[in-house]
Chains A and B, each alone.
Chain A
Amino acid sequence: MIRTMLPLLLFVGLLGLLMAGLKNADQKSLIDSPLIGKPVPEFALPALHETGRTLTNGDFTGRPYVLNVWASWCPSCRVEHPLIKRMGREINAPLVGLNWKDEHAKAMTWLGQFGDAWDVHIFDEVGRFGIDLGVYGAPETFLVDHTGTIRHKHIGPVTEESYAGLVEQIRRLEAEAGS
């Protein structure tokens, strides 16, 4: 009896797997980041507003911060911008922008047009720092703790649903730094 039931049982297993797959279907384009728990990769890039000034990892360690990847060619960045602005007002940690694979003039125009919610911008024109971070699209948001370790990566625009969770995490990182 088992032998003849075996195909049916195997099929039911397959069905379960496919059902689970269906539930997660819209999540499948999200690539898990292997950088969680690892330090922010080394970089030395110009600041967007003062291109003569070079920013490195050292400029940011000591306190937790939010690293937000954006670009002027990215429509979703416009969509999330109001929430970024709100985040900037509500948290203490600095908001660091990573202007990724963009043109300087276009980026400046974008900021002029939509407002600048960030504290400082790193200008990654070629995009190598982005690749080192495992960025594969914009916007993406990283939460970095006071030791310079990446603790969380949020893929896609910050939304109403994800906003609260992100802010709470930031507050936790700030508390960690405090103690």
Chain B
Amino acid sequence: MRLIVLCLLMAGQLALAQSPIEPRQFNSELQETRYRELIKELRCTVCQNEPLESSNAMLAADLRQVVYEMIMDGRSDFEVRQHMRDRYGDFVLYDPPFAGHTMILWLGPLVLLLIGIVAGAVLVKKRRRMLAERRARS
């Protein structure tokens, strides 16, 4: 499938990732903040690892428009994320869901941290005993 010549580079899009500037009208600052946060969290499906916020792709512009419309329509952040997930899958979320298949991801480092702390404590205890023994001997 090396010939995956998807028409990703739609008319006018350049390979350079320079952020598109789109003035938008919001009813409140909260809405604007939510919009900014959401387009940072959602992945551009036709880019090499970029969020919607910074992508020049036409599809990204369309998806930003969808996010904007949904926010102005009164939908919640959860609904916006779910809308995108329903269509593009988990791939489109930069914040991976906390589910069975992401257990290792979310819990792994915490488990490692715990193991590390316990191992560290055990080591310190051993060394403390070593020190005490040496003191006792001398």
Chain B residues whose CB sits within 8 angstroms of the CB of A157 once the complex forms: 3, 5
Chain A: CB-nearest residue to B85: A34
* B14 located at the interface, meaning its Cβ lies under 8 Å from any Cβ of chain A in the complex: no
A156 CB to nearest B CB, Å: 5
Chain A interfacial residues counted at CB < 8 A: 31
Q: Is the interface on chain B under 10, 10 to 19, 20 to 34, or 35 or more residues?
A: 20 to 34
* B80 located at the interface, meaning its Cβ lies under 8 Å from any Cβ of chain A in the complex: no
Interface of A is mostly: loop
Chain A residues whose CB sits within 8 angstroms of the CB of B7 once the complex forms: 71, 73-77, 137-139
A137, B87: Cβ atoms closer than 8 Å: no
B58, A76: Cβ atoms closer than 8 Å: no
Known contacts A73-B11, A127-B62; is-contact A155 B88 (Cβ 8 Å): no
What 1/0 mask marks residues of chain B from 1 to 32 whose CB sits below 8 Å from any chain A CB? 11111111011000000000000000000000
A31 to B1, CA, bound (A): 14
Known contacts A73-B11, A101-B58, A156-B1; is-contact A137 B6 (Cβ 8 Å): yes
What 1/0 mask marks residues of chain B from 47 to 64 whose CB sits below 8 Å from any chain A CB? 000000000001100110
A155 to B58, CA, bound (A): 18
A75, B5: Cβ atoms closer than 8 Å: yes
A155, B6: Cβ atoms closer than 8 Å: yes
Known contacts A73-B11, A138-B7, A156-B4; is-contact A31 B91 (Cβ 8 Å): yes
Residue with the greatest number of chain A CB neighbours at <10 A, chosen from B7, B46, B62, B85? B7
Chain A: CB-nearest residue to B45: A136
Contact partner, B45, options A27, A31, A127, A159, Cβ 8 Å: A31
A26 to B62, CA, bound (A): 26
* B86 located at the interface, meaning its Cβ lies under 8 Å from any Cβ of chain A in the complex: yes
* B124 located at the interface, meaning its Cβ lies under 8 Å from any Cβ of chain A in the complex: no
* B74 located at the interface, meaning its Cβ lies under 8 Å from any Cβ of chain A in the complex: no
* B118 located at the interface, meaning its Cβ lies under 8 Å from any Cβ of chain A in the complex: no
Chain A residues whose CB sits within 8 angstroms of the CB of B92 once the complex forms: 31
Chain A residues whose CB sits within 8 angstroms of the CB of B10 once the complex forms: 73, 101
A29, B6: Cβ atoms closer than 8 Å: yes
* B100 located at the interface, meaning its Cβ lies under 8 Å from any Cβ of chain A in the complex: no
A11 CB to nearest B CB, Å: 16
* A79 located at the interface, meaning its Cβ lies under 8 Å from any Cβ of chain B in the complex: yes
* A117 located at the interface, meaning its Cβ lies under 8 Å from any Cβ of chain B in the complex: no
B59, A136: Cβ atoms closer than 8 Å: yes
What 1/0 mask marks residues of chain B from 82 to 113 whose CB sits below 8 Å from any chain A CB? 00011111011000000000000000000000
Can you offer 14 A-B residue contacts whose CB atoms are under 8 A?
A: A31-B89, A73-B11, A76-B6, A79-B5, A131-B62, A131-B63, A131-B87, A136-B45, A136-B88, A137-B6, A137-B7, A155-B6, A156-B1, A156-B3
Interface residues of A (CB under 8 A from B): 26-27, 29-35, 71, 73-77, 79, 101, 127-128, 131-134, 136-139, 155-157, 159
